[in-house]
Structure formats: C-alpha cells, structure tokens
Amino acid sequence: MAEIVIVESAADAGGLVADEIVRLVRTRPDAVLGLATGSTPLPVYDALRSRLSGVDVSRVRGFALDEYVGIDPRHLESYRNVIFREVVEPLGLDPARVRVPDGSLEGIAHAGDDYEAALADAGGVDLQILGIGTDGHIGFNEPGSSFASLTRVKTLTAQTRADNARFFDHPDDVPMHCITQGLGTILRAKHLVLLAFGAAKAEAVAGAVEGPVTASLPGSAIQLHPHVTVVADEAAASQLRFADYYRYTWAHKPEWREL
Ligand code: F6R
C-alpha cells in the first residue's frame, strides 16, 4: 500500500519531498529524477533550490513525463521550456542530462520508442514526481489508458484541456495531443511520489489511493507499485476514507524508515 502523508500546506509537502530527493542525490550522485510539470510540483522545485546548494548535482539526470505535440518549441508553456525554466536552471542541473519527450511533428512516429530507449539507457527513474489530473490522469495518461502502456501519443480530454487553459492565452490554444510516458513506463520507476493539493483533486486522490484499480482512473495504477508515497494537503485528502489511519501511521512512523 502507498504511504499517505497528509500535510498542512503545499510548502510542507515541497519540503518533505525535497528532503527525500536531496537524500537520494547524496547517496546516488547520478540519480535519475522523473520530473512532472504543471502547478503541483512547484513547491518541491522551490524547496530544492536552497536544499541543493552545496550538493553536487553535476551528474543528476532528469526525464520529464510528457510534452504537448506540435507546440512551438519556443512557446513559454512547452514542457521543454517549463522544465528548463522551473527545474534545470534554478537547480543548476546539466541541461544535457535532462530530457523531455520530443513533441515535434517530424519524428513523432518514433519519439515514444526513442524516449523509452533513453530511459532504459539511463537505468530507469529512481524517484518519479507525479501530479494528478482532476480526471485521474497521471502523466497525460487519460482515462482508459492501458496499464502496460509505454511512451506514446495521446489525445487530451476536454477536461484536461480546460484545466490547462490557464497556461495559455486562449482555451483553444491548448494542444489537442500530447506525448506521455505510459502507465507501464511510470510503474517501472523505483519510487513514485504523487502530490496533490486542493479540493479539486480530492475525488481523483481518493480514487487513486482507495478506489478499484481501473484504467478508468489511471492514477489507481499506483496501487500496483511496491513503493509509493502520496503527499496531499487536507483539501486533497478530504475524501480519503482511511485518512485517520494514514495520519496515525505517519505519526507513529519509526525513525529508521525512510519515505
Ligand atoms: C504534468 C503531468 C500531469 C499533471 C496533472 C496535474 O507533467 O504529467 O499529470 O501533473 O495534470 O496538473 P497540475 O499540477 O497543474 O494540477
């Protein structure tokens, strides 16, 4: 079962996860981080800035979860630009060691296979940061995605396009297609860390953690993974049936156990 940590604020969540990432990088200087975009992981990246100063990150590698297909690579909201702006530059990572799926139309037919090969070459992701969509997606694996899926092109749901419209000048500007790591890809990471904040995520979080394992709620795939940490604020955790047990478990966590 996933470890569920209910925190007071997104900043608390960011600190907790950042501490874990620093621990990982200190023990494994060439750690492979799975990077998410969107609003949710920002407190983690913020918290990492101060925590990583003085830590050698020159060998750290990173793989983004997804990218829009056909987006102008110079667009501020292409995930390539977001990852470089929010993660690579502020944390001082080596840009050559950070990859984002290639969403350009030329080569899209083999972009998924290329990405899988690069992930395999790197030895897989050590710690994968995940957000969750209001429709339950992780990565951009929309409802119905196969649990065996690998990196490939998907069509975004109308709900996801509406949710992401805030990043674009006009809702119609949100691309229709994306290239995303599959659920099968994500499940290969050694440690999944799913973050969720706000009441809009409560239903998806409850479904992912406690609902039936179903492709209709792709986030429920985390129940198939042996090492998952879910960090949610009170609002996002508000529909969890066993929330009291999760709080009790966290409060009594032995010091020798890591996240
Ligand atoms: C982003 C990603 C998505 C987001 C999800 C939540 O790389 O893979 O699954 O994590 O759409 O988005 P936010 O965090 O903006 O609410």
Cβ contact 146:184 at 8 Å: yes
Domain 3-251 top-level CATH class: alpha beta
Q: Say if residue 1's pLDDT is above 80.
A: no
What is the number of alpha carbons within 13 Å of residue 141 lying toward its C-beta? Answer: 30
18 vs 143: CA distance, rounded Å:
30
Query: For residue 256, what pLDDT is reported?
Result: 79
Domain assignments of the chain as residue spans, ordered by start: 3-251
Pocket test for ligand 1, best of 17, 37, 217 (most atoms within 8 A of CB): 37
Of 77, 135, 163, 233, the catalytic one is: 135
Q: Where are the beta strands (DSSP E) in 86-163?
A: 98-99, 127-130, 152-155
d(CA 59, CA 122): 12
**Region 200-212: what's the mean pLDDT?**
98
Residue 34 CA to ligand 1 centre (angstroms)? 13
152 pairs with which residues across the strands?
180
Distance 242 CA to ligand 1 centre (A): 25
What would the pLDDT profile of 56-82 be if each residue is shown by its tens digit? 999 999 999 999 999 988 899 999 999
For residues 177 and 254, the model is more confident at: 177
Mark 17-46 as b/e (b = at least 16 C-beta within 10 Å). bbebbbebbeeeeebbbbbbbbebbbbbbb
**Of 20, 66, 116, 163, catalytic:** 66
Centre of ligand 1 from the C-alpha of residue 92, in Å: 23
Overall average pLDDT of the 142-166 stretch: 97
Beta carbons of 196 and 236 less than 8 angstroms apart: yes
Strands 228-233 and 191-196: parallel
d(CA 55, CA 159): 40
135 is catalytic: yes
Within 6 Å (CB) of ligand 1, which residues are found? Answer: 36-40, 65-66, 131-133, 137-140
pLDDT band with cut points at 50, 70 and 90 for residue 232: very high
Q: Where are the alpha helices (DSSP H) in the chain?
A: 10-27, 42-51, 79-83, 89-91, 108-121, 158-164, 183-187, 202-210, 243-251
Expressed in angstroms and rounded, the spacing between residue 134 Cα and the centre of ligand 1 is 9
Buried b or exposed e, range 152-163, using 16+ CB within 10 angstroms:
bbbebbeebbeb
* Pocket residue to mutate for ligand 1, from 86, 115, 128, 137, most atoms within 8 A of Cβ: 137
What is each CA distance from 136 to 37, 64, 131, 140, 248, in whole angstroms? 16, 19, 10, 10, 26
Q: What is the pLDDT of residue 32?
A: 98
pLDDT for the residue numbered 202: 98
Name which residue sits closest to atom 4 of ligand 1, judged by CA.
Answer: 131
